[in-house]
Chains A and B, each alone.
Chain A
Amino acid sequence: MAARGRGEIEMKQRAQMRILPDGRRLHLQDGPIDLIVEAFGAAGEVDLAYHAACARFVTVLDELCGELKFLRQECCRDAEWPRGSVARRMVAAVMPYASECFITPMAAVAGAVAEEVLATIVCAAKLSRAYVNDGGDIALHLTVGEKFVVGIVERPNRPSLFGTLTIDADNPVRGIATSGWRGRSFSLGIADAVTVLADRAAAADAAATIIANAVDLPGHPAIVRVPACDLAPDSDLGGRLVTQRVGTLTEAEVHRALTVGVQTAERLRRMGLIRAAALNLCGETRLVGADRIAQLSSDVHERSLVHA
């Protein structure tokens, strides 16, 4: 993108918008939103896409904060719809769960923002492929013959890759999200990470939250739980107990917790809400819809050989 163009957009903005030093990726940050955008196509098209992304991005946080009170409330089937387009994506993503469990639209905020920015750039420019990565929740765009290779981490707070998966244009997956108690958001469950592949990023985000919450051992003494509001007074989870530490679990307990998560993931897959999921707890991994992530290479052992 031309420096001149960036300067115009950056003027007077709270948001940080810049091309990363690799000269290819766009970094957008505003408050808690942190996006990495990469578009592929003719140079002029990529430039168009990045300008469109910036133009859309500058108001996203303000739009969300304008309806934050509503978005932090439990989602009900008969509730009014919010006005903002990102907020509407959030509500749409969590609505399927509204009648069965507690969920707020905030469970899909990262995926919804990624989806919104991706939709913006795909409309604005002719791109062969593109992605918007919102802190690990990713929206994808693929045209015929294109593919993405995506790395999966064992735990959201670790940089080390546990496997990679390939998504090509024939695959319906366009959204990837990861949730777990070690991640940036609070979790009601104990999964180290649940990675979900779904048709849309917001849907993947909401489902990852639900599945990660389901991986649990209620009442287990080695699990430290704290009311969310004690940690963050304005958390959308209120007084619900969120996981802060998971002590030593036996193999049988790990198995039991993962099994509940797998059952939940299977159910969501049969309902068409997700395509596949990888559940991780204490180094154990379970796959759901494994044909979708067949390429998930298990290089865990290989990695353990890499030492200082």
Chain B
Amino acid sequence: MADDAIRCDACPVLCYIKPGRTGSCDRYGNHDGKLVRLDPHVVLNRAVERGDSVVPFLERCAEWDGSLVSHGETFVTAIGAGTTYPDYKPAPFIISSQVEGVDMVTVVTEGIFSYCGVKVKIDTDRHLGAECSKVRAQGEEVGHVTTSEYGSQMLSLGGVRHLTGGSRHEGTATCDALLNLCNGKAVELEIDDGATVVVEAGKPPFVDGVREERMRVGCGSATIGMFAKQWFGKVDEVVVVDDHITGVLSEHQAGKLLGIPETGIKLKGRRSTPGRYFQVAEPGTSWGGTNIEDPLSILGKFSAKKAWPGLRLLMVSTTGEHYGYFELGDDLRPKEKELPPALRASVARIKENCEPALCTMLFMGGAGGSLRAGVTENPVKLTHSVRDALTRVTCGGAPVYVWPGGGITFMVDVTRMPQNAFGYVPTPALVAPIEFTLRLEDYGALGGYIDQVRPLSSISAEKGGKKTVAARQDNPWPLEAGAKSR
């Protein structure tokens, strides 16, 4: 018998269960060597610390009695609730709980979203691909490179065109990629004429197989501004190599203010303003997000009128990962020397000021359609109620940003949701939890299914029961303050 398997004694089948697996009933599982009860309906429990994510199996044949469920400390998420399909049915769970003496109603459902996607922010200056380039997963087009942000490359994945507008393979690959990303799994993406990047929510990206450690501290020009004083007197010239704006200390406003003399340095690329250069090289995955391996390749000859033998030159990337120290010879050509200790500290400081590079992703979906009919008989009233902030929308208990304007288009950070919160249907489309929380009287006023409202304590063993997970301390509690009184 495998030594890492445990024997479940919940019933006479006495399954041997491997770590991470469940027994033949799918109710009990081996979670890190412990026998735990695993039920599909996820209940956020405020009383428990995050990480203690399953209800321990305490005693033989103890059915969950709902005793922890009371006083607004428990919030029912839509995960595992089932969908409202066909959408005119009342949502699977319409739950009431008392919060500060007010009857609160949470309508939970799992929505089928085909108008949905993931916006991926990849903290890297490395060139991943040109704007509008196609992004592929399993060889199929699943999205595109969109406008980059400060220190980050952005991808827009999914959307209705890839999910249902293309071939079946395209739809399936898109659905797979979205599902995995939303559920916190790593996905390899290939960008046309660009890099292959492995992204995973909350983890560093891997660009062409290399793990990205740090975000740049700023663009090259900003780096000059931040560190000019620390370099003053220790070096004659500093070039901060950056794919966007390469900075040159002696020409930069910050250098001028310190009275740093001209050095006769010549930069390739296009000068923007003094000391700031665009396009010193092609984008790439080396020095400062450019394609250069040799930093001297972006320099022209030093001016003989201004440069002098012995001139000290530091070249450094915006993350401090690449650096080189040079002194000019009698021929005014730079010769590489060992980095002096005083400058070593400033390079380390650049590195220290770079935040860890992460992939972060927001799930974005539209809940303004027929899903609303599972909440109320008059769907537009739900939209209005969300607009008027009478109804709080959450996604697996996580806060969402509802985009202004019509409909209920929302974004949520997938890392703030419970694990494996997403599912899919073969349409293909994503299934995501969504909860609407409001006061009972407001729920009645918007035409809610008042007769379907059940007390929180009734969510128990029915249809496989529920699973209690700890609420995240950094998420606002869904039942608090969000749903204002009229």
Contacts and interface: CB of A to CB of B under 8 A. Distances in A.
Interface of A: 14, 16, 20-21, 30-32, 34, 61-62, 65, 68, 154-155, 158-160, 184, 230-234, 247-248, 282-283, 303-304, 306-308
B425 interface: yes
B24 A232 contact: yes
A155 B424 CA distance: 12
B415 interface: no
Interface of B: 1-2, 5, 10-18, 21, 23-26, 60-61, 63, 82-83, 85-87, 111-116, 138, 164, 168-169, 172-173, 365-367, 369-371, 425-427, 429, 432, 434, 458, 461-462
Contacts of B82: 159
A251 to B, nearest CB: 8
B25 A232 contact: no
Contacts of B164: 304
A307 B370 contact: yes
B426 A283 contact: yes
Given A232-B24, A308-B111, A155 B426 contact: yes
B18 A232 contact: yes
Contacts of A65: 12-14
Nearest to B85: A306
Nearest to B21: A231
B185 to A, nearest CB: 13
B113 A308 contact: yes
Given A14-B61, A233-B2, A308 B366 contact: yes
B18 A230 contact: yes
Q: What is the predominant secondary structure among interface residues of chain B facing chain A? A: loop
Contact of A31 (B10, B168, B169): B10
Contacts of B85: 159-160, 303, 306
Contacts of B369: 307-308
Contacts of A248: 138, 169, 172-173
Contact of B426 (A158, A232, A308): A158
A173 to B, nearest CB: 26
Contacts of B23: 32, 232
Contact of A234 (B15, B173, B367): B15
A308 B1 CA distance: 48
Given A184-B26, A307-B370, A308-B111, A154 B426 contact: yes
Given A32-B11, A308-B366, A21 B83 contact: no
Contact of A308 (B2, B10, B169, B371): B371
B132 to A, nearest CB: 26
Given A160-B426, A308-B365, A308-B369, 20 more contacts: A14-B61, A31-B10, A61-B12, A61-B13, A65-B12, A65-B13, A155-B426, A158-B426, A232-B23, A233-B16, A234-B15, A248-B138, A248-B173, A303-B427, A307-B114, A307-B115, A308-B115, A308-B116, A308-B370, A308-B432
A144 to B, nearest CB: 32
Given A16-B461, A307-B429, A32 B25 contact: yes
A154 B116 CA distance: 23
A230 B16 CA distance: 11
The 8 closest A-B CB pairs, nearest first, are A31-B11, A308-B111, A32-B25, A65-B12, A32-B24, A233-B16, A308-B371, A308-B113
Contacts of B111: 308
30 contacts: A14-B11, A16-B63, A16-B461, A20-B462, A31-B11, A31-B13, A31-B24, A31-B25, A32-B25, A61-B11, A154-B426, A158-B426, A160-B83, A160-B85, A230-B18, A231-B18, A232-B17, A232-B24, A234-B15, A234-B16, A248-B138, A248-B172, A282-B172, A306-B370, A308-B111, A308-B112, A308-B114, A308-B116, A308-B366, A308-B432
Given A160-B85, A232-B21, A308-B369, A68 B16 contact: no
B13, B114, B432 — which one has the most chain A CB atoms within 10 A of its CB?
B13
A253 B369 CA distance: 37
Contacts of A34: 25
A75 to B, nearest CB: 19
Contacts of A20: 462
Nearest to B139: A248
A232 B88 CA distance: 41
Nearest to B5: A233
B137 to A, nearest CB: 11
B342 to A, nearest CB: 56
A32 B28 CA distance: 10
A304 B171 CA distance: 13
Nearest to B25: A32
Nearest to B16: A233
B246 to A, nearest CB: 43
Nearest to A280: B426
A62 B13 CA distance: 8
Given A32-B24, A233-B2, A233-B5, A304 B17 contact: no
A184 B24 CA distance: 8
Contacts of B116: 308
Contacts of A16: 63, 461
Contacts of A155: 426
A308 B367 contact: yes
A38 to B, nearest CB: 15
Contacts of B172: 248, 282
A31 B12 CA distance: 8
B261 to A, nearest CB: 63
B17, B24, B116 — which one has the most chain A CB atoms within 10 A of its CB?
B24
Contacts of B63: 16
A247 B464 CA distance: 29
B375 to A, nearest CB: 12
A154, A247, A248 — which one has the most chain B CB atoms within 10 A of its CB?
A248
B1, B168, B366 — which one has the most chain A CB atoms within 10 A of its CB?
B168
Contacts of B15: 232, 234
A282 B169 CA distance: 10
Contacts of A306: 85-87, 112, 370
Contacts of B462: 20-21
B173 to A, nearest CB: 7
A21, A31, A234, A308 — which one has the most chain B CB atoms within 10 A of its CB?
A308
A30 B11 CA distance: 7
Contacts of B18: 230-233
